Amino acid sequence: MTVSDSLLQLFLGGGDFVLYIMLGLSVVTLGVIFERLYAFILLRRRYAQLSKRDLLLFGQKRLTVLATLGNNAPFIGLFGTVLGVIKAFHDLHLQQGSGIKVVMGGISEALVATAMGLLVAIPAVIAYNAFSKTLQTWLLLRQNDE
């Protein structure tokens, strides 16, 4: 089997593998959110003891991960949807007498990948914005204290 045959099989398999990727990304997203929540609780307790630099360093840790997941998860889900639609039309081609039922079933399955992308992205973006705003507020308060 050549590389092009392998890729063809992957694309014709639909977006199932994308769902596994999205499941992994959702676990990573939740892990980072809970880790940052715990870190911000600790930062709040030690706010007075930390320098502005330390506050910034510890506060910004892993926020890039949330931003990246929030920005890219919908595109990964969309990629799964496109692969699913390709599979649906390929199945329609193979079963020419079946009609619209083959395509509709495949497309409805494919849209699950887009929904998964949004389910990963929305909490990541909300958490990123909340943590960034909190950190920004703390830094402004610290600047006013100095």
pLDDT at 78 over 80: yes
Say what percent of the chain tops pLDDT 90: 40
Domain coordinates of the chain in residue numbers?
3-145
Angle at 28 between CA 25 and CA 32, to 5 degrees: 140
pLDDT at 44 over 80: yes
pLDDT at 60 over 80: yes
Q: What are phi and psi of 97, to 5 degrees?
A: -85, -10
d(CA 70, CA 64): 10
Residues 55, 110 contacting (CB under 8 angstroms): no
pLDDT in tens, 87-134: 888 777 777 766 677 777 778 878 888 999 999 999 999 999 999 999
pTM greater than 0.85: no
